[in-house]
Chains A and B, each alone.
Chain A
Amino acid sequence: MNTTEERLSQNRASLGKEFWLKTFSFLSPLFLLFLWEALAALKLVDVRLFSSPSRIFKTLIPLVLSGELIYHTLISTMRIALGFLAGAIPGVALGLSMGLFPSVRALLMPLVAVTFPIPKLAIMPLILIVFGLGESSKIFTIAIGVFYLVLINTMAGVLNIDPIYIDVAKSFKASRIQFYTTVAFPGALPMIFAGLKLGMGTALLLIVAAELSAAKAGVGWMIWRAYDMFDIERMFCSLIVLAFLGFVFSYLLDFLEKIVIPWKKR
């Protein structure tokens, strides 16, 4: 027999379990930092190569306070944001038209299929020659990486709409425009967002590479500069910023997705 008392105590037990799991998740990174610090203090890891949490923290504070880190973060954020938009907007537009019109798909699919596998880093020298050393080359590098992922996902989103929804629209005599706005676009939105999220990951990857060459600021530049100066602490500070940027951007996209796709079961 399960009395109310027993059930309540079971409930308490499972709540207690949840509490411990959350505590573990919180403690595990702290424990790693502690381990790292301890190994550095005991000289079991070489602090010239791997530094230590306290050293990194000591470098981080003045970097933040002087505004230097924030300056570089803002520059990189600007490039990522512009590149992301410059890639995502045409990616969605072209992906939708390729999904909707077989003629556009027939025309462009071979081009996309042939150029998509080229590593974006491999065309950076070409981009530098064409766009010069200014901002546009970095923005374009990011844009092209984002563009393909968004394009391919958007097109797949349109093509994979359940045929029954197309039948419903047809049976209600929807015009072409009505079909695009009430079925094709909303139906493709979940895949479009999947593309945007993948694109964001690629944008973070490309910003570091893009700032390697011919940049005078940015988080990626900081990393390469720290490499030249053999300044391991600065390098780690920049990595912390990149992790932070990735977290913020994916949080923003999740937030936007919740607003744009309230109908998705989560």
Chain B
Amino acid sequence: MNGAEKIRVENLTKFFINGKTAVSALENVNLTVNDGEFLCVVGPSGCGKTTMLRILAGLEKPTSGRVHINAKAAGVPSTAVVFQGDSIFPWMRVVENVEYGLKLRGVPLKERRAVAMEHLKKMGLERFAYLYPYQLSGGMKQRVNVARAFACDPEILLMDEPFGALDEQNRLLLQQELLRIWEENCKTTVFITHSIDEALLLGDKILVMTAQPGKVKALLDVKIPRPRDIILIKSSPVFIELYKEIWDLLKEEVLKARNIK
């Protein structure tokens, strides 16, 4: 980790106009993410986590404030997103999905296919490269989704609850695979989740957000050494202590969110 600033969010505010009322999604969010850092964002549902990620990805415009992404290399995309839920294209074969980002950048077929196959191999999916998504299980589709983001080699990975819809066993497996792949090259990552477990397993830092409108409630360091082993971590004292700390922070917000409704 070299500590250079990669993402800087300054006074970020976002309103959604809904008829005559403005709904505030994010209010005055300030945040920096350093190069090679894995930031997990937790918060009660509806707190604007996804909105923040979409702004980082350039899919939404902030109402006020700004987002600065410190991109170095030319010709490499600054961000790639792993979306929540089923987002791989049903009309493309698995390998075509994985190489999609490269295809859009005009990488020749032979080259991009090789890169895609390599990423599929890492995910244990090379046997399924030429199948269509409808032939895959939910866990396999989500692996393709992750591989698609990694394959285009972005400077920053943005993940929006990528494992939220999976069953417990598949989620564990995928978290383990993500850790393994991520620890190879430590790409700057913003990972949204509602699971404290997941945030602690994966993150270097954890951002706790308040109930709507989303503000920064706390930013915690996760001082668990890497490489991490998912099963061993869960019983370590640091994990248990942090878990309690985050839950105390979140509990207040979840209760507040319930009272709003």
A residues adjacent to B (C-beta < 8 A): 164-165, 167-168, 170-175, 178, 182-183, 186-187, 189, 261-265
Chain A residues with CB below 8 A from B133, complex form: 263
Docked-complex contact A170 and B134, CB < 8 angstroms:
no
Chain A residues with CB below 8 A from B132, complex form: 262-263
The B interface is mostly helix, strand or loop, or mixed, namely loop
- Give A165 to B97 CA distance when docked, in angstroms: 12
Chain A residues with CB below 8 A from B87, complex form: 164-165, 167-168
0/1 interface trace, chain B 39-68, chain A, CB 8 Å (1 if under): 000000000000000100111000000000
- 5 shortest interchain CB distances as A-B pairs: A186-B91, A265-B134, A263-B132, A171-B81, A172-B101
Docked-complex contact B104 and A164, CB < 8 angstroms:
no
Give 15 A-B pairs besides A164-B83, A168-B83, A189-B91 with Cβ atoms closer than 8 angstroms.
Answer: A164-B85, A170-B59, A171-B58, A171-B59, A171-B79, A171-B81, A172-B80, A174-B104, A175-B104, A182-B89, A182-B100, A263-B90, A263-B133, A263-B134, A265-B134
Chain A residues with CB below 8 A from B138, complex form: none
- Give A189 to B77 CA distance when docked, in angstroms: 30
Docked-complex contact A165 and B89, CB < 8 angstroms:
yes
- Give A167 to B100 CA distance when docked, in angstroms: 13
A-B contact pairs, 9 of them (CB 8 A): A164-B86, A167-B83, A168-B87, A171-B58, A171-B83, A182-B89, A263-B92, A263-B134, A264-B90
Chain A residues with CB below 8 A from B101, complex form: 172
0/1 interface trace, chain B 67-84, chain A, CB 8 Å (1 if under): 000000000010111010
Q: What residue of chain B has the Cβ atom nearest to residue A185's Cβ?
A: B91
Docked-complex contact B58 and A178, CB < 8 angstroms:
no
Docked-complex contact B58 and A168, CB < 8 angstroms:
no
Docked-complex contact B134 and A172, CB < 8 angstroms:
no
A60 to chain B, nearest CB (A): 45
B180 to chain A, nearest CB (A): 24
Partner of A171 from the list B80, B85, B86, B91 (CB cut-off 8 Å) is B80
Tell me if B12 is interfacial: C-beta within 8 Å of chain A: no
A105 to chain B, nearest CB (A): 23
- Give A182 to B132 CA distance when docked, in angstroms: 15
Tell me if B200 is interfacial: C-beta within 8 Å of chain A: no
- Give A178 to B81 CA distance when docked, in angstroms: 18
Chain A residues with CB below 8 A from B146, complex form: none
Chain B residues with CB below 8 A from A165, complex form: 87, 89
Docked-complex contact B104 and A178, CB < 8 angstroms:
yes
Chain A residues with CB below 8 A from B80, complex form: 171-172
Tell me if B152 is interfacial: C-beta within 8 Å of chain A: yes
Q: What residue of chain A has the Cβ atom nearest to residue B96's Cβ?
A: A182
Chain A residues with CB below 8 A from B57, complex form: 171
Q: What residue of chain A has the Cβ atom nearest to residue B57's Cβ?
A: A171
Q: What residue of chain B has the Cβ atom nearest to residue A170's Cβ?
A: B59
Partner of B89 from the list A178, A183, A265 (CB cut-off 8 Å) is A183
- Give A42 to B86 CA distance when docked, in angstroms: 64
- Give A170 to B80 CA distance when docked, in angstroms: 10
**Chain B 78-132 residues near chain A, CB threshold 8 A:** 79-81, 83, 85-87, 89-93, 100-101, 103-104, 132
- Give A171 to B81 CA distance when docked, in angstroms: 7
Docked-complex contact A263 and B91, CB < 8 angstroms:
yes
B84 to chain A, nearest CB (A): 8
Docked-complex contact B104 and A172, CB < 8 angstroms:
yes
Chain A residues with CB below 8 A from B104, complex form: 172-175, 178, 182
- Give A264 to B54 CA distance when docked, in angstroms: 30
**Chain B 10-52 residues near chain A, CB threshold 8 A:** none
**Chain B 129-143 residues near chain A, CB threshold 8 A:** 132-134
- Give A71 to B85 CA distance when docked, in angstroms: 56
Q: What residue of chain A has the Cβ atom nearest to residue B54's Cβ?
A: A167
Chain B residues with CB below 8 A from A167, complex form: 54, 59, 81, 83, 87
B173 to chain A, nearest CB (A): 24
Chain B residues with CB below 8 A from A263, complex form: 90-93, 132-134
Chain B residues with CB below 8 A from A186, complex form: 89, 91-92
B55 to chain A, nearest CB (A): 12
A262 to chain B, nearest CB (A): 7
Docked-complex contact B91 and A187, CB < 8 angstroms:
yes
B128 to chain A, nearest CB (A): 14
Chain A residues with CB below 8 A from B92, complex form: 182, 186, 263
A254 to chain B, nearest CB (A): 18
Chain B residues with CB below 8 A from A178, complex form: 104
A187 to chain B, nearest CB (A): 7
A14 to chain B, nearest CB (A): 26
- Give A133 to B206 CA distance when docked, in angstroms: 78
